[in-house]
Structure 1
Amino acid sequence: MKTLRTFLIAVGLWYLCNLVLLWPPVYAGALPLIYPGIGLGQGRPVFGLLLDAWLIVGIQLAAIGAVALWGARDPLRYRALIPVIVLTEAVGAVWDIYSVGWHGEALWVGLTTLAGHFAIFGGAWLASRAVNREAAAAV
């Protein structure tokens, strides 16, 4: 279960880092780089609403991350987190493709985040294979 434990710890820590990255004062400074040339309403109440909405995403990711870190103590029992993480990453990947294609997200940002999503997909695949191998060996 070392592979699954490593996967849960890595994703857990990354999801907790996302909370920091999406914290309003941090994210407010990054948004002009992510969406260059797009009027985001900085200085208007709607900008605060945008930051709050992304903070909620960060909190949700942190919640999954906290459960993943907790689950790393007994990885086999928490293996059901693998599809939760895969679906979370799939939604994020679709959002990145949509944002780059239709809403002005910088291509380098979209490609970087897509690479992150695919790295997590790869980790999930390796963790699933390890769980399946161990289950087959136990039979």
Structure 2
Amino acid sequence: MKQGRIFLWVLGLFYLANLLGTLPFASASLFSQMYPGFVPDAATRAFRLLSDAWAVVGLQLGAIGIVALLGARDPLRYLAVFDIVIATEVVDALWDFYSITWSNLATAFGLTTLVIHPVWIAWALYAKRAVVTAAR
């Protein structure tokens, strides 16, 4: 049970940090690093669309993060959160691969995120197994 609590606690904090990092005031300065050649001009539609899209991603991760923090109290009751994290990380990894390959995401930035996704997936699988085993 302890592994599940630790996982959900750390994941919740990480996802909430992602929420903060994807909000327009924080992400605007990263766009030129993430997308080489993109001029971050708040007056353009492209900038506002990109900024809004990142904010939505952050809000979704933040929502999962809040549920994970609540679930840290009783990981067995919140077992589905582990599967939600796995699904989220798989989809995000596919999106990052697409972004590197076809959407001009900076390779170093994309590869960094591609390393993070399997770590969360593996840890979620391990922690879920630990919770289920402890409950028996």
Distance in 2, matches of 1:24 and 1:12, equals: 21
Whether 2:61 is the aligned partner of 1:61: answer yes
More displaced 10-residue stretch of structure 1: 102-111 or 31-40: 31-40
Aligned to 1:112: 112
Point out 4+ residue stretches in structure 1 off by more than 6 angstroms. none
Aligned to 1:4: 4
What TM-score does the superposition give when structure 2 sets the normalisation length? 0.93
Question: Which segments of 5 or more consecutive residues in structure 1 lack a partner in the other structure?
Answer: none
More displaced 10-residue stretch of structure 1: 35-44 or 83-92: 35-44
Deviation string, structure 1 residues 67-116 (Cα, Å, up to 9, x no partner): 00001011111011111010011110000000001111111111110111
Shift of 1:11: 0.8
Aligned to 2:32: 32
The aligned runs of 1:62-77 (5 Å cut-off) are 62-77=62-77
Identity among equivalent positions (%) equals: 46
Aligned to 1:82: 82
Whether 2:47 is the aligned partner of 1:47: answer yes
Aligned to 1:17: 17
What TM-score does the superposition give when structure 1 sets the normalisation length? 0.91
Residue type matched to 1:124 in 2? A
Deviation string, structure 1 residues 47-76 (Cα, Å, up to 9, x no partner): 112211211111111011000000101111
Aligned to 2:94: 94
How many residues were matched structurally? 136
Residue type matched to 1:6 in 2? I
SS in 1 for 2:92: helix
Aligned to 1:130: 130
Shift of 1:25: 1.6
8 A Cα contact 1:38 1:104, kept in partner: no
Question: Which segments of 5 or more consecutive residues in structure 2 lack a partner in the other structure?
Answer: none
Shift of 1:42: 4.8
SS in 1 for 2:37: coil
